[in-house]
């Protein structure tokens, strides 16, 4: 007889450990245990509810479990010894402070406190460079967040400065390599996407508002656990430092680049980082040659624009395709292949995007010289412009230090100016000859007047050009103009869904929309459509009732249409004629002439009563008859299609039929939502057209 196996010694019980068991096994405090788990990438696990009671040995079921193999893996971590040494040294420092021995306490903390390095953990978690790029989304979002918050006792200034410097280095590499692809302005912040070595990296940058470091809860404590977030930032700074080193080295740039602290304090942003090549003299010679060539091209473009008539700058700008002022020699064109589907009913194939080509990104804004007004967000616009080829960006002195600014506002080489103020008219001149009023009027006139030949656009123009891969029409983004909708470049519209970029006539259900609009205009003039439950829905319910009555009349009360033949279609043909085409039983021509004359008399009486022409009423009645015929044919086709679907569902198994019904339900919800959005757009366009009239 074998030994009786003791309960809880094998199976799922040995696969998991509670958090208390893990802390006792590692002999660490809870805070150090959390730090070690974050560094090593060990996270809690959720076992199945069936085995939770067997795993938990306590009276109350525990909620936090870890894999036993993960805790065993942490026992061999070199950081474990450093954490224990740090804990012992903190006890000695506390005792020294209790005795009042400040000299020994400061000396022990300065000389004997262990400095933890996470280099080996980064190499261990990311064996290849591609693995590090794939896990860079959260790291960039966290570092950009910490680079924008104010310093607090929980967030020291040194940590904020380090995050800020690493993010500037990352942006400089994107500018140099032209790997930035898309950007989107959202409520949370600005989303950016870059493609490096085939890996798409997406991160979020918060807006630079005046914000607090944290919120206080009801009990008086912070709602944000800054210790955990600082642990993540400590690991992410090491990770991004490794990535920047690898990218800069591969690009032939010295890492780390020089950082001008004085210029950074004055708000130079990207201008505070100075890149140097492997050969400094060669790098300076290349940059000087590029600056000279860029200045010559910009000056030639500015001279050409200034030579244009001053009263017609906007006509030529609007006639240029996509608002491009360059010639065909300066703006390289590149055609991409288009994939056409063989089946017209199939989904639309994804076409290659021009933003996926680095050559397009490097030449999009290259021929232009930009100036940023003082009300615009300088850093994101400067970053986007330089990442897509522009090398000449100037801004107002109120936006930051002069180092890095290419020109002032009165420079003749400026081709585009980014403004974010309403297009206000010029003020009226002063009624008196007071010097102060005259000086104020001249200053305001100079502020609002436009330079001939310069294009004024709003900041959204930059983002829309980047996402589209081509320059957009600048007249749509003029100061004070109603901007086009700013759509996310990552949303792919599926078949049947609402697409705001496509006209309503080209989307699904366009015929129904046109018919509904015609009936609304003819039958309910001056009435407003509710949009939620109004005339359209009532009309649809009435159509369903009419269709059911016709189906019962045709099929003899049967719900399922049997397989028909040619004879059945011939028999049903006379019943499908319109009421106006029926000429009686005898087919006598005299009776038909009498009916026509009676109908003409009726139309004349209606026209006399309404004060309208008889021909107009006849045309309206004819169009309504054709509309009803189209609706009847469409409803008959839909009914036949639904009957075919019901026949096929009857031949399915129960499991497949349930799956198919769920799919139909989800598609119906999707179509209902899309139709609601189309109706909303139709109402907006109708209101805009009526307002314009």
Worst-scoring range by mean pLDDT, 230-239, 527-536, 579-588? 527-536
Report the half-sphere exposure of 225 (CA within 13 A, side-chain side).
7
Q: How far apart are CA 687 and CA 676, in angstroms?
A: 17
Is residue 361's pLDDT more than 60? yes
77, 111, 145 - which closes a domain: 111
pLDDT above 90 covers what percent of the chain?
27
Is residue 102's pLDDT more than 80? yes
Query: Whose structure tokens read 């330079």?
Result: 451
Mean pLDDT confidence for 398-421: 83
Mean pLDDT confidence for 391-419: 84
Q: How far apart are CA 211 and CA 632, in angstroms?
A: 61
Q: In this structure, are 91 and 167 located in the same domain?
A: no
Q: In this structure, are 304 and 387 located in the same domain?
A: yes
Q: How far apart are CA 411 and CA 365, in angstroms?
A: 18
Worst-scoring range by mean pLDDT, 65-69, 131-135, 570-574? 570-574
Q: In this structure, are 465 and 610 located in the same domain?
A: no
Worst-scoring range by mean pLDDT, 225-229, 311-315, 353-357, 484-488? 311-315
Q: Is residue 374 part of a domain?
A: yes
Helix 614-650, helix 589-610: angle, nearest 10: 110
The pLDDT, as a whole number, for residue 409 is: 84
Worst-scoring range by mean pLDDT, 315-324, 506-515, 655-664? 315-324
Please report, for residues 112, 562, 582, the alpha-carbon distance to residue 568 in angstroms, rounded to integers and kept in the order given: 100, 11, 21
Q: Is residue 155 part of a domain?
A: yes
Q: Is residue 34 part of a domain?
A: yes
Mean pLDDT confidence for 387-405: 83
111, 131, 149 - which closes a domain: 111
86, 111, 136 - which closes a domain: 111
Q: Is residue 455 part of a domain?
A: yes
Q: In this structure, are 60 and 145 located in the same domain?
A: no
When pLDDT is cut at 50, 70 and 90, the band that residue 306 belongs to is very low
Closest of 77, 87, 157 to residue 117, by C-alpha:
77
The pLDDT, as a whole number, for residue 213 is: 61
Any idea what DSSP says for residue 474? G
Domain harbouring 313, CATH code = 3.40.50.10190
Q: In this structure, are 138 and 233 located in the same domain?
A: yes
Q: In this structure, are 91 and 195 located in the same domain?
A: no
Is residue 558's pLDDT more than 70? no
Which residues constitute the domain of residue 261? 119-212+223-278
Is residue 288's pLDDT more than 60? no
Is residue 454's pLDDT more than 60? yes
Q: Is residue 584 part of a domain?
A: no
When pLDDT is cut at 50, 70 and 90, the band that residue 330 belongs to is very low
How far, rounded to the nearest angstrom, does the alpha carbon of residue 234 sit from its chain's CA centroid? 29
Q: Is residue 494 part of a domain?
A: no
Is residue 501's pLDDT more than 90? no
Query: The tokens of 398 are what?
Result: 């109120």
Other beta carbons within 10 Å of 555: 13
When pLDDT is cut at 50, 70 and 90, the band that residue 358 belongs to is low
Query: The tokens of 198 are what?
Result: 């085939």
Q: Is residue 491 part of a domain?
A: no
Q: Do residues 232 and 223 touch, judged by C-beta distance below 8 A?
A: no
Phi, psi of 416 (to 5 degrees): -130, 140
Kindly write down the DSSP assignment for every residue of 408-455, as one continuous string.
-TT-TT--EEE--S--PPPPPPPSS--HHHHHHHHHHHHHHPPPTT-E
- Beta-sheet strands, E only, within 511-657: none
Give the number of domains in the chain: 5
pLDDT above 70 covers what percent of the chain?
62
Q: In this structure, are 235 and 315 located in the same domain?
A: no
Q: In this structure, are 125 and 180 located in the same domain?
A: yes
Average pLDDT of the chain to the nearest whole number:
75
Is residue 144's pLDDT more than 90? yes
- If one compares 231 and 282, the residue with the highest pLDDT of the two is 231
Q: In this structure, are 126 and 154 located in the same domain?
A: yes
Please report, for residues 122, 497, 674, the alpha-carbon distance to residue 347 in angstroms, rounded to integers and kept in the order given: 43, 12, 17
Mean pLDDT confidence for 546-554: 45
Q: In this structure, are 608 and 516 located in the same domain?
A: no
Q: How far apart are CA 478 and CA 287, in angstroms?
A: 34
Question: What pTM does this model have?
Answer: 0.68
Q: How far apart are CA 62 and CA 60, in angstroms?
A: 6
Q: In this structure, are 317 and 295 located in the same domain?
A: yes
Q: In this structure, are 320 and 450 located in the same domain?
A: yes
Is residue 294's pLDDT more than 80? no
Q: Is residue 186 part of a domain?
A: yes
């Amino acid at each position: 007889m074998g030994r009786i196996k003791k309960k809880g010694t094998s199976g799922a019980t040995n696969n998991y450990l509670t958090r208390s068991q893990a802390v006792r096994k590692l002999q660490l405090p809870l805070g150090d245990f959390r730090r070690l788990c974050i560094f090593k990438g060990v996270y809690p696990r959720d076992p199945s509810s069936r085995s939770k009671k067997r795993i938990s040995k306590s009276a109350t079921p525990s909620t936090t479990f870890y894999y036993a193999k993960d805790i065993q893996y942490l026992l061999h971590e070199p950081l474990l010894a450093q954490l224990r040494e740090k804990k012992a040294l903190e006890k000695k420092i506390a005792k020294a402070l209790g005795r009042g021995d400040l000299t020994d306490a400061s000396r022990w903390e300065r000389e004997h406190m262990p400095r933890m390095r996470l280099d080996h953990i980064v190499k261990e978690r990311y064996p290849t460079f591609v693995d590090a790029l794939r896990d860079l989304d959260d790291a960039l979002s966290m570092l950009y967040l910490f680079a924008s918050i104010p310093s607090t006792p929980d967030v020291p200034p040194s940590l904020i400065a380090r995050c800020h410097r690493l993010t500037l280095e990352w942006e400089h590499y994107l500018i140099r390599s032209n790997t930035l692809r898309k950007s989107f302005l959202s409520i949370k912040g600005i989303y950016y996407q870059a493609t490096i070595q085939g890996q798409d990296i997406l991160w979020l940058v918060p807006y630079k508002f005046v914000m607090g470091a944290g919120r206080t809860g009801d009990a008086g404590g912070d709602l944000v656990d800054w210790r955990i977030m600082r642990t993540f930032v400590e690991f992410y700074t090491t990770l991004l430092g490794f990535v920047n080193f690898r990218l800069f080295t591969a690009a032939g740039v010295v890492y780390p680049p020089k950082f001008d602290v004085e210029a950074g304090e004055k708000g130079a942003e990207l201008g505070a980082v100075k890149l140097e090549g492997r050969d400094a003299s060669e790098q300076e010679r290349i940059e000087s040659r590029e600056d000279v060539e860029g200045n010559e091209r910009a000056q030639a473009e500015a001279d050409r624009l200034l030579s244009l008539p001053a009263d017609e700058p906007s006509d030529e700008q609007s006639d240029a395709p996509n608002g491009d002022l360059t010639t065909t020699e300066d703006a390289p064109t590149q055609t991409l292949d288009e994939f056409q589907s063989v089946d017209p009913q199939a989904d639309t194939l994804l076409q290659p995007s021009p933003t996926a080509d680095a050559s397009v990104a490097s030449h999009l804004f290259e021929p232009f010289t930009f100036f940023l007004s003082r009300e615009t967000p300088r850093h994101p616009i400067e970053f986007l412009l330089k990442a897509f080829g522009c090398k000449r960006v100037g801004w107002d002195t109120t936006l930051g230090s002069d180092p890095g600014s290419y020109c002032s506002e009165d420079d003749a080489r400026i081709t585009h100016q980014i403004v974010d103020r309403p297009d206000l008219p010029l003020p009226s001149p002063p009624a008196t000859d007071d010097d102060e009023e005259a000086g104020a009027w001249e200053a305001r006139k100079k502020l609002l007047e436009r330079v001939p030949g310069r294009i004024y656009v709003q900041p959204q123009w930059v983002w829309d050009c980047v996402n589209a891969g081509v320059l957009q029409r600048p007249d749509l983004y003029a100061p004070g103009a109603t901007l086009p909708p700013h759509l996310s470049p990552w949303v792919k519209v599926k078949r049947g869904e609402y697409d705001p970029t496509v006209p309503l006539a080209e989307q699904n259900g366009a015929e129904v929309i046109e018919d509904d609009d015609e009936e609304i205009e003819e039958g309910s003039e001056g009435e407003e459509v509710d949009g939620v439950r109004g005339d359209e829905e009532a009309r649809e319910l009435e159509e369903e009732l009419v269709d059911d009555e016709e189906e019962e009349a045709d099929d003899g009360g049967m719900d399922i249409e049997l397989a028909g033949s040619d004879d059945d279609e011939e028999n049903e043909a006379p019943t499908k004629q319109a009421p106006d085409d029926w000429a009686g039983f005898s087919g006598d021509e005299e009776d038909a002439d009498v009916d026509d004359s009676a109908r003409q008399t009726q139309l004349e009486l209606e026209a006399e009563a309404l004060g309208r022409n008889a021909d107009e009423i006849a045309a309206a009645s004819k169009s309504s008859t054709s509309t009803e015929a189209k609706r009847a044919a469409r409803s008959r086709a839909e009914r036949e299609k639904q009957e075919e679907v019901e026949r096929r569902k009857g031949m399915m198994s129960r499991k497949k039929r349930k799956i198919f019904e769920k799919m139909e339900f989800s598609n119906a919800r999707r179509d209902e939502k899309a139709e609601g959005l189309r109706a909303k757009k139709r109402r907006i366009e109708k209101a805009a057209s009526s307002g314009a009239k």
